[in-house]
Amino acid sequence: MIVAIASYVVGGLALLVYFFSRETWLRNLGAPLAIVGCVAQFAQLIVRYEITGIWPLLNLYGSLSLFAAMSVAIFIGFAIRYKLWFAGGFVLAIAAIFLAYGVTWNEGTMPPVPSLQSYWAKIHVPIVVSSYAAFLVAFVFSCVYLIKYYAEQRIANATVVASAALEGGGTVTVATPALSAAAAGGNPLAQWLETLPSLAQLDVIVYRAVAIGLPLISLGIITGAAWAKEAWGAYWQWDPKETAALCTWIIYLAYMHLHTRNAWRGLRTNWISVGGFVLVIFTYLGVNIWISGLHSYKM
């Protein structure tokens, strides 16, 4: 656990600085640390299971550990495939925060209550937590998209205003310069923005992350319903956790539908992705901690 948190903190800092400076040695430091932290987390979960014989994901501590590990694992997959290490700082930082928070819920090893004594615990929980992790990765890249989008807008607006001032009034016809033109002109923000993938590419990355998360949460809801039928008699009891998960499913379903429309693809769908992740946090933590129900940790 300490190895994982330390790796995430140091690696996250390195990759955060890399996000801005793009110095290769920072990526070369941060990437391996991300992998080390991720491997350490999975190892810790496996060892816990081997020693105690109790499935480690039955409490918030265990599930938050898996959430952090899967978030980093999914991000690593994207980073290797599409060369996206620049966003690693954000993913590692969030993973470290959730992992540290999870540690506060560690009450030691406790035998599971009867409703958790089921093989479904080994199926349903990892699937759902993995879906949340995929949505976290989508959220991070949506944030990068939005940063780039609004920064580009700012560059375009600033350049128009500057040109008008130079002209000294009168009728000014100024074609808004492209980002590359601003970068060629020495604008440091523009030069930095050019190191990021294009908005279209970022949007595709977000789509691909949601493409992992939405089927997983669908499968998670299905397996949860199957487990509920065995444990509580009905596959759907409108439990707050079930309905919050349904809300999350609905918002990403809306994302998927809107992404088919050219006018909605891009800025708007990325805002939906951001909103969706807020709902994921409410579904994952808010419902468990603040609302009483069948999934509740509320004392």
Distances (CA, A) of 243 to 87, 92, 129, 203, 253: 32, 29, 16, 28, 15
Residue 111 per-residue DSSP state: P
Q: How far is the CB of 197 from another protein (least distance, A)?
A: 8
Q: Which stretch binds another protein (CB under 8 A): 13-21, 93-101, 105-113, 138-146?
A: 105-113
Return the number of the residue (113 or 175) whose C-beta is nearest another protein: 113
Each residue 206-225 as x (binds another protein by CB under 8 A) or -, in order, gives -x---x--xx--xx--x--x
2 touches another protein by CB under 8 A: no
Q: How far is the CB of 253 from another protein (least distance, A)?
A: 6
**How far apart (Å, rounded) are the C-alpha atoms in residues 137 and 141?**
6
**How far apart (Å, rounded) are the C-alpha atoms in residues 202 and 146?**
10
**How would you classify residue 266: left for phi > 0, otherwise alpha for psi between -120 and 50, otherwise beta?**
left
**How far apart (Å, rounded) are the C-alpha atoms in residues 35 and 299?**
36
Each residue 12-51 as x (binds another protein by CB under 8 A) or -, in order, gives ----------------------------------------
Q: Which stretch binds another protein (CB under 8 A): 54-62, 89-97, 102-110, 180-188?
A: 102-110
289 touches another protein by CB under 8 A: no
166 touches another protein by CB under 8 A: no
Q: Residue 155: count other Cβ atoms within 10 Å of its Cβ.
A: 21
**How far apart (Å, rounded) are the C-alpha atoms in residues 170 and 176?**
18
254 touches another protein by CB under 8 A: yes
77 touches another protein by CB under 8 A: no
296 touches another protein by CB under 8 A: no
Structure token pair of residue 153: 């807008």
Please pick, from the candidates 43, 46, 200, 278, the single residue that binds another protein as defined by CB under 8 A. Answer: 200
- Vertex 57 angle, CA 53 and 298, to 5°: 120
User: 226 to 245, contacts with another protein by CB under 8 A?
Assistant: 226, 229-235, 238, 240, 243-244
Distances (CA, A) of 17 to 5, 57, 288: 18, 33, 35
Beta-carbon contacts of residue 173 (< 8 Å; ≥ 6 apart):
none
User: 256 to 275, contacts with another protein by CB under 8 A?
Assistant: 256-262, 265
Q: How far is the CB of 261 from another protein (least distance, A)?
A: 6
